Each structure stands twice: as C-alpha cells, then as structure tokens.
Structure 1
Amino acid sequence: MKKSLKALIIEDEELARNLLKSYLKDHPVLEIIGECENGFEGVQKINELKPDVVFLDIQMPKITGFEMLELLEHKPEIIFTTAYDQYALKAFDYNAVDYLLKPFSKERMLEAVEKVVDRIGNNENTHNKLEQLSSYAVNEYLNRIVVKDRHKINIIPVERVRYIESLDDYVLIYTPDGRHMKQKTMKYLESHLNPKDFIRIHRSYIVHVDHIAEIQQYEKESYVVILKDRTKLKVSKTGYKKIKDVLHF
C-alpha cells in the first residue's frame, strides 16, 4: 500500500522521538515528514507542513502540548505520547482522541495509528474534536494564556491581564503592554480563570479584580467599573452582584 498520510512528531526527548521513528519507519500508510522538540517549533511546522497526524507530548518546555493546540491554524489528528495519564486519559475519554502512555509498545502505537487512519478514512470532523480537546484539556485554573501574534508566540501570566473583551468568536486580552487577540470564548475563559481573581462583569467583559479602582453608578441600577488606568467598562446586574460577592461590600 502506498504511503498516503503525513505524520509529524513533537516530543522534547530525543530518545522518545527515535523510538517513535523506529516504530513507524516501515508503516505502509504513514510517512514521517518532520520532528520538533518543543511546542513553538511544533506550531510553525504544523501550519507549514500541514501533517495529517501529529504525535504530541503534553509536558514540554516553553508551552505544553495543550497550549500548542490552541495556536494551530491547520488542524491535524492528534495522538498523545505522554507519561501523564491524568491529562491524556481524560482527554481521550471525552473526545476519543487516542494516547500512548509511556512506556508503550509498538503494538499499542500501531493500534492508535489504525484508529486515526480509520477516522481520516471516514472523514470525521477533526477540527471540532480538536476544539473540544483544547477546551477540555485544562482541569485546573489557568496561570497563563498563550497567544499567537502573527509569527510571534506570547506567554501572558494571568496576573498581567487587566481585562478581557468579547469579540465574536475571539477575545481581546488587555495587558499593560497592549492587547492580544485569541480564538477562545468568554465562557471558556470565565470557567478556566480563578473566580477569586477574575469577574465576568458583563457579557462582553471579564475583569481582573486587582485592576478595579472604583465602581460608579450612572443611572438607576446601572454601573460602570473604572480600572486603575481609568478605563471604563459597563457592568450588568449579574456582574454587579458578582463584584459585591467577591469584594464583600
């Protein structure tokens, strides 16, 4: 059978990359078109080479595998290669994306490959599965947000975030250094940012508590939040109640 699927390996450990290459070298369908040792390089290679499937480690330097998934323009199939089952197993159970728990055998890897080959052959919607995966993957509050601005990847610690604004299917993240656009929903960020630090004050705004300077009433039951840099943001009735609950006034 002619090789027809392009595969990319993203793994920070050279021994693990070599093991995968040795397991896959004689595969009749998959062709390895490249390898990367970190998520920064992985984003570039995926968007450039457009592989059909990626063998992806989760815990890597700079950015994690899950953070990398959020930055992709091209959406390949993902097979995890990881030693951390608390992430990969949950993601697999929720989205039926396969994983290889280290140490794994060649037989187990080939089983995972066959699942991906079948999925691609059945034209399943990889884009939706990957969106669900990157949304589900984080099971604790975010301590940083990764964004891609053209050819640059920025890692923003959440304490640097002043507020977040909704923009259709994107959000604008405001920091002291400027603003950054990210393809995420407000619902996702509201549920993944610590509610002690971030308040959804309006359907269009999430605010970092530490950046609130004052709250002003401008009409009956209508309020605005004024940030320390004097930015004014509307507050909904629900948002005002959340502010009172968090700030205890």
Structure 2
Amino acid sequence: MKKRVYLVDDEMLALQELSVLLKPYEELEIIGMSDRVDQAIKDCNELKPDLIFLDINMPGMDGFAFLENLEEVNQVIFVTAYDQFAIKAFEINALDYLLKPLNPKRLAEAISRFYLKFQSEKEDLESQRLTPEKKIFIKDGERCHFVPVSKIFLLESEGNYVRVFFDKETALLHKSLTYLEQKLPTDLFFRANRQYMFNLDFVDRIEPYFNSTLLIVLKSGHKIDLSQRQSVKFRDLTGV
C-alpha cells in the first residue's frame, strides 16, 4: 500500500520542484499540496497523511505553529532554506531536516528513514493490538467496567475522551479515538470519520447517502455517515 504524502510550502515553485523529485518513489502518493497554511491545515486534518514535507519560514504561521494546529501528526520532514531551526525540529521529533536547494541523495536518505520508522511503528502496534476476546477496563466516575472488545459496538469521540457503547450501557474512556483505532482489531472495527468508529459485526444495514457516501445503520439503531474517503475504503473492504 502506498504511503500518503502532503507538501506544504509558501512558494509554489518549491512545491513543484519537490513533487518532481518525489516522482521516482512509486511507493509514495502525493495526496495534496498547498502554498497556503490555512488550506494545508484543513487538508491535513481531513486527509491525515502518513508523511508531511513542511517548510518552516512561511507568512502568517511558521511550520512549528502549523503542526500545533493539526489534530494528529504522523511523520514530518522539514524542507527549508534556514539551518538555525534544526535543533528545534528534532526536539519535536521531526524525521529529518532538509536544506534547500534539495540534494537528491539527502532526500533518499530521509525517505529511507521514514520507511524504517513506519515499519518499526507498525510492528509495535500490531504486537500491542487487542484481540476480540480481550477486555478493556473503563473507570467511569465511581463505576468500573471490564468490557469484552467483541461487545463494543460503537465509539464516539468527545474531546479528550471516547464514549464507549456496549450492551445497553455507555461509559467514558480517557483515551483518544485515534489511540483506540491503533489498539482495536482492524478486522472488527472501522473508523467512519473523525467522530465515530464502529464494530462491523453490529452493522444492520448500509444505505446510500449524499455525494456517493454511505450511511451505516447499526443494530442498536445508531446511524453513522461515512466520509467520502472512508466510504471508498468501506466499499473496498466489504465489496458493497
């Protein structure tokens, strides 16, 4: 599967040059680029790329402030004409720091580093992933629940918490939906959009929705609309 890449730079020429340099890397897919920071924030929060190539010195907002405005950040490679920000870049765990004009050899090293880190994190996540038989401990106020993963039918993001629906009860868990997405079995749970994730075993029916998207109706009666990107992914997964 190709890794999804987004490019951010206030100079369109720099974006075009970088996209040309990335063309030989068939394992990477450029899903978007922007020379406007506000648009790039919107795109990245929606598309959630695996890797962002990011300039630092941009009008209105620098690269570090840009990252603070993202809902989640995967991997970042800074591409800049200034070397004085390198220490700060690595303090926030940037994958690499490339200076303009770009050296193709250094770019290749950075992409290689990305793949090594991606594979390492993937193996770590898979080794920690829960199975349907496992139970999640949820302390909700004074009540405690040990909930089998297989009995959870819906998860709803509520700020820094996730509301977990199981049997005929709900409870708040102090985790993010993204964290749980990385922990729960991928063959059982599907991320619908930014707010919801659901258990495939509890799907009652699937209905067509707006703009070629899908509406999922659970056995509980809950209705969940899939984003356009997730509708495509759901169709590929289920063949509907």
TM-score (norm 1): 0.46
Which structure has the larger Rg?
A: 1
TM-score (norm 2): 0.48
